Chain A
């Protein structure tokens, strides 16, 4: 079978391994990876021997380094699929691995269907016939399983949404096609300027859905929140309060929390990974020093930082030092211990934090916790109150298709603006319609003609 296209996929389960492997197979695989790989030795992949590994970096189109990697090349026919195969061993965790995958796609690879590597291995004679049934089961079950999972996870709302968009695209196609095939029928078809508007509306909807991919990631992998502050301001108490568990050791001796304590908290179904960092302070104690360093690293990785201040004490230099370290981050400022006498100078606090990002709490008594949770939710998910039930979450494959569809719609609109004949925007719209069908699993039918005959009075 001629397989001219090159496929790619992440070969490791997300989150379960220390490294992530991006596999690329097909006759363009070496060329594609060569475009995004800079080896330490300046050597091109096309120049290295089969079954050799080479160290270097994956870079994006601005030559920014995405990840430090080891790439292995297995040339046809001595590979799993019997095609040229490149494996990229990524080290930067899930985000980096996915970014590498994305770069492969940008450079001409296609995301593999479930079981497609095995399928190619079989078709190219790598696996013998006795294994055929297993392969078939794999193709069938993986497809069905992923369909089931998709259906379950998305509660059908993505399908509904895609079908809605698909129907709207079809309606536009019908208008265009009717004026091509039934030119003499004197039909009142919708003019270009109105269709343009409708296309633009769909583009906007797609854009929103594509943006939600990020949210999908959040929902899947969680978001890291670091709780920081000088020693003994109540970080551990806050962690306990948020997670309603007694995990962190809460004492009033500064430096008790020597290591970072993690807790997963679900806010409306979204996992928030709370990290209670050791108090950040200058210290000579070696163990404590390690804790401080760890804390700093956690802060670096966190998407959101909760800075805890002690309302009972004055705002001091120690607070300021910590603030300086997290300036670049999204921060919520918690003024703890509101149940005690308030000695903190609010004027000074307001110099460093936005008023709407300050919340007064008592971690021990549970005062203000709900307000804090809402604030976290708002910052994490954006747009304030989010009803997850209504949110359309898409996965990477969906995102690629939707991005492609959006590009096609833009093309179609451009053709209309340039007043090109109807068959040209139709060319884009029909492709878009077909692509969306791939998401919802519907194949082409005679929808267009059915639409024309039901909407227009045809009949010379």
Chain B
């Protein structure tokens, strides 16, 4: 049984990895412990959010699957940060979990070159530091040129509820108990994280009249730019709050909390603390928001966002019942915590290939991340790069200055992880440029070069780009002379035209208070009207030009460092002038580029200078698409 690529795990990372590899023409096998749980969403029933939405858009622009499946299965869509600037606006979709699994499985099953199969991998087969395949617990072996490990929380997964614990990958699922030891014997450094999920309750037992109703957008929006549709569904979510009584119950039973009882002592995500932790850390706060979100359209199970806990189920019940609207709520599934192994991600390259074993890739939660979106983009990138390498083509390397995906990968392989990694816009130093609304312009060229975006799709993007530039040029050429008509035209706009000077429409648009709608009349002509999303781009580019240019300049300044690869066989202890700390850190992480080296904690600009001096002539320019 020979394959080109084997993907271990069929979660959000595994699905994207397998799809990318198979679509690139490689014979791909995807192995899962349970084929009924493909692309399962074990925690929150939503995709997107601030920072994460950007990841989904980028994945879509590159030719990934998540955006399309989300668009087909959402039951409510909201635009977050609506009143803020374009760079931090984001989509968040409530997803019908079952529908999502069904749709993703359908896509997998109908993709050429892709084989789905049940099996628990216990060993990565390696010869001469290069991967050769995997074996599964039944003893079968599968050969492959590349292996991508996307095991999520399954490696030595341990579930904790109250004072009880047992091994499981997720609630009710088998763990993968043997693969970790295999990875350790291959020389990988392993860490351990935990994460937790809130209880689900029966909708029929809730008094939703006591909650605030949260509705979605009425305007058509969606993640994917390739096939835009109308609003699919708009099912309500609900908002309620905890109160003093909630805090009391939590405090009274705090000894039962795994974080107090010592049942869990690993780090969990700070952005998803349990209600126990919130009460401990912020005792004065007695009103925490609880979002009640449906798990799907055809189920009464409701997810209690904000009430994460792994206290014993009977105490979970008591905590829930203190909350307004949840007085009689009945638990369907209790919340729980899960502890799992991850590999320290600084053992990976920009391509997510491990530095130790050639053609062995890691993606998703096993790399210490949290979130479906973070997993999906890693899966995609590893799938593409495995395929590219097998085909002897240059890798796809995304960088901090062109994408959130680049930020994510760079952070993972450079910085020390102290908790499961989640994306935020604040992590992206160039976020004013890395917007959802221009993900297609930024990245679809890469998608096309790889072969996951068609020429027609790409032509559409190029066309859009041309139209945008054309419209901006046009604005520069339109001069507004302050006559009666024009002054009247701008009466309702909060800006004053000087009576004696004319100015271009371009300059006018830059003024605060003026927006593109005010001058669209000047722009549209006999050649037809501009599309709304083109006008939106024009507005953003013109209005925020100063900020955008500043970020572009900063990127240019860093380019000298980012473009150069560091040799991987370098002995940093041989380099004169480096501090001992720098030698140690650089030897441990073995950065891919000078830019990455400069971001390692403890590496000073002087160290970088010294590296440059020592490596003069030995630095190679990065070879990849777009360069």
Contact = CB atoms under 8 A, between A and B. Distances in A.
Contacts of B560: 1-4
Contacts of B557: 4-5
A185 interface: yes
A8 to B, nearest CB: 17
B613 A460 contact: no
Contacts of B288: 457, 459
Contacts of A183: 50, 80-81, 84
B577 to A, nearest CB: 4
Contact of A427 (B84, B432, B603): B432
Contacts of B429: 430
B50 A136 contact: no
B84 A122 contact: no
Size category, A interface: 35 or more
B601 A423 contact: no
Contacts of A427: 432, 547, 550-551
Given A3-B560, A458-B271, A423 B87 contact: yes
Interface stretch (A190-198, A238-246, A330-338, A445-453): A445-453
Interface in B81-128: 81, 83-85, 87-88
A446 B429 CA distance: 12
Interface in B393-430: 415, 424-427, 429
A180 interface: yes
Interface stretch (B56-64, B278-286, B342-350, B516-524): B278-286
B51 interface: yes
A113 B609 CA distance: 11
B246 interface: no
Contacts of A123: 612-613, 616
A53 interface: no
Interface string B571-602: 00000110000000000000000000001010
A137 B270 CA distance: 44
A409 to B, nearest CB: 15
Interface in A293-352: none
B558 to A, nearest CB: 11
A418 interface: yes
Contacts of B415: 446
Given A2-B560, A132-B613, A181-B426, A423 B606 contact: no
B426 A457 contact: no
A138 to B, nearest CB: 10
B385 interface: no
A184 interface: yes
Nearest to A452: B426
Given A122-B613, A133-B576, A181-B50, A457 B285 contact: yes
A122 B612 CA distance: 10
A411 B557 CA distance: 21
Nearest to A418: B512
Contacts of B362: none
A1 B274 CA distance: 50
A269 interface: no
Given A420-B85, A423-B88, A180 B50 contact: yes
A459 B306 contact: yes
Contacts of A186: 289
Contacts of A423: 84-85, 87-88, 425, 431-432
A440 interface: no
Interface in A1-50: 1-5
A424 B85 contact: yes
A89 B601 CA distance: 42
Contacts of B556: 4
B293 to A, nearest CB: 10
A240 to B, nearest CB: 50
Contacts of A449: 270, 424, 426-427
A285 interface: no
Contact of B84 (A4, A182, A421): A421
Contacts of A401: none
Given A427-B432, A448-B426, A180 B576 contact: no
A427 B87 CA distance: 12
A122 B616 contact: yes
A5, A123, A422, A459: residue with the most chain B Cβ atoms closer than 10 Å: A459
A130 interface: no
Given A1-B560, A421-B85, A423-B431, A460 B614 contact: no
A132 B613 CA distance: 7
Interface string A124-142: 0000010011011101100
Contacts of A441: 604
A319 to B, nearest CB: 59
Interface in B306-321: 306, 308
A15 B88 CA distance: 53
B216 interface: no
Nearest to B44: A460
B591 to A, nearest CB: 14
B273 interface: yes
A136 B609 CA distance: 8
B357 interface: no
Given A424-B85, A457-B281, A185 B616 contact: no
B612 A1 contact: yes
Contacts of B601: 443, 445
Contacts of B545: none
B272 interface: yes
Contacts of B616: 122-123, 129, 132
A143 interface: yes
B559 interface: yes
B332 to A, nearest CB: 20
Given A136-B577, A139-B577, A460-B291, A180 B426 contact: yes
Interface string A90-134: 000000000000000000000001000001001100000100110
Nearest to B271: A458
A443 B415 CA distance: 13
Contacts of A288: none
Contact of B614 (A132, A420, A422): A132
Nearest to A445: B601
Contacts of B542: none
B84 A422 contact: yes
Contacts of A4: 556-557, 560
Nearest to A177: B426
A209 to B, nearest CB: 23
B273 A459 contact: yes
Contact of A180 (B81, B281, B613): B81
A317 B485 CA distance: 75
B305 interface: yes
21 contacts: A1-B612, A122-B616, A123-B616, A133-B576, A136-B576, A136-B614, A177-B424, A180-B88, A180-B426, A181-B51, A181-B88, A181-B425, A184-B289, A423-B432, A424-B544, A424-B547, A427-B550, A445-B601, A449-B427, A457-B282, A459-B288
Interface of B: 50-51, 80-81, 83-85, 87-88, 270-274, 277-278, 281-282, 285, 288-289, 291, 305-306, 308, 415, 424-427, 429, 431-432, 512, 544, 547, 550-551, 556-557, 559-560, 576-577, 599, 601, 603-606, 609-610, 612-614, 616
Interface of A: 1-5, 113, 119, 122-123, 129, 132-133, 135-137, 139-140, 143, 177, 180-186, 418, 420-424, 426-427, 430, 441, 443-446, 448-449, 453, 457-460
Given A180-B88, A181-B51, A445-B601, 17 more contacts: A113-B609, A133-B576, A133-B577, A136-B614, A139-B609, A139-B610, A140-B577, A140-B610, A180-B50, A183-B84, A421-B84, A423-B431, A424-B432, A427-B547, A443-B603, A457-B278, A459-B278
